[in-house]
């Protein structure tokens, strides 16, 4: 069970607004957070990942506290069992596909498993610059899953792909998420996508979830 409440002041040029949201997500669910650009989607991902610090709030996964502003707890990204798929994949150019996965966890058997799961066995010894967009995305996914994280975060994973790929890769994502039964949160600006792929969808507008009433922390 992932439970969190986050509050963070965001500045976009001259405008500033507060990102404030609270949610509870059951294990194995695939949450889609949909919102227009500038609504704070990436910030949400980054805060959950430990790459950014909220102004206030808490993040609790299972019995573990990843963040609690009242008790001054903050686990940085490297201390969290989290897997992140970045918007532009952030693959290490100096390592092959296999190398990228092994960097996450030096377990050859597990790496082979992941390569099969993401259908990348043929590309194992290729470098990121030789891969297509879809292959890069799947590599990023495989790498993020290598350590069997408690939470998988995806920052607009399908946005930089062209239409035909988007559908098929979206399905791949769901397949893999179900196969690994991992708790996942994906942010996207596409309503259709999130509706189609996710088990729960939230709308994020100017830092607030549009339906839920805020439970004050």
Binding site for other proteins (CB under 8 A): 49-51, 76-79, 81-84, 86, 88, 90-94, 103-104, 143-144, 146-147
* Nearest-approach distance from CB 78 to other proteins, in angstroms: 5
Nearer Cβ to other proteins, position 81 or 196? 81
Quote the CA–CA distance of 188 and 7 in Å, as a whole number.
Answer: 20
Residue with tokens 């890069």: 136
Which residue's CB is nearer to other proteins, number 71 or number 78? 78
CA dihedral 215, 47, 192, 24 (to 10 degrees): -40
Instruction: In angstroms, give the least distance from the CB of 195 to other proteins.
Output: 28
CA distance linking residue 188 with residue 105, whole number of Å? 28
Residue number, 117 or 146, with CB nearest to other proteins: 146
Residue 212 CB, nearest distance to other proteins (Å)? 28
Q: DSSP characters for 36-102?
A: -TTSSHHHHHHHHHTSS--SEEEEEETTEEEEETTTTEE--GGGS-EEEE-TT----TTS-HHHHHH
The helix (H) or strand (E) run that includes residue 144 is helix 133-145
- Nearest-CA neighbor of 25 among 3, 52, 54, 56? 3
- Minimum separation from the CB atom of position 6 to other proteins (A): 18
Choice between 4 and 86, CB closer to other proteins: 86
Q: How far is the CB of 86 from other proteins (least distance, A)?
A: 5
Minimum CB distance to other proteins smaller for 143 or for 208: 143
**Strands 200-205 and 30-34, how do they pair?**
parallel
Q: Minimum Å distance from CB 142 to other proteins?
A: 12
User: Which C-beta is closer to other proteins: that of 67 or that of 86?
Assistant: 86
């Amino acid at each position: 069970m992932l439970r969190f409440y986050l509050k963070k002041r965001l500045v976009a040029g001259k405008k500033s607004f507060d990102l404030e949201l609270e949610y509870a997500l059951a294990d194995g669910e695939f949450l889609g957070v949909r919102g227009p650009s500038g609504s704070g989607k990436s910030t949400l991902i980054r805060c959950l990942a430990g790459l950014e610090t909220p102004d206030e709030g808490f993040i609790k996964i299972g019995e573990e506290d990843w963040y609690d502003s009242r008790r001054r707890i903050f686990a940085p990204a490297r201390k969290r069992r989290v897997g992140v798929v970045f918007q532009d994949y952030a693959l290490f150019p100096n390592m092959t596909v296999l190398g990228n996965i092994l960097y996450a966890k030096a377990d050859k058997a597990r790496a082979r498993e992941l390569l099969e799961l993401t259908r990348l066995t043929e590309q194992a010894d290729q470098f990121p610059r030789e891969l297509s967009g879809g292959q890069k995305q799947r590599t990023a996914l495989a790498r993020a899953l290598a350590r069997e994280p408690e939470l998988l975060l995806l920052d607009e994973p399908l946005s930089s792909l062209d239409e035909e790929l988007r559908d098929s890769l979206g399905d791949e994502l769901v397949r893999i998420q179900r196969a690994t039964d991992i708790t996942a949160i994906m942010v996207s600006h596409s309503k259709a996508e999130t509706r189609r792929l996710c088990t729960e969808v939230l709308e994020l507008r100017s830092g607030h979830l549009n339906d839920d009433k805020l439970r004050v922390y």
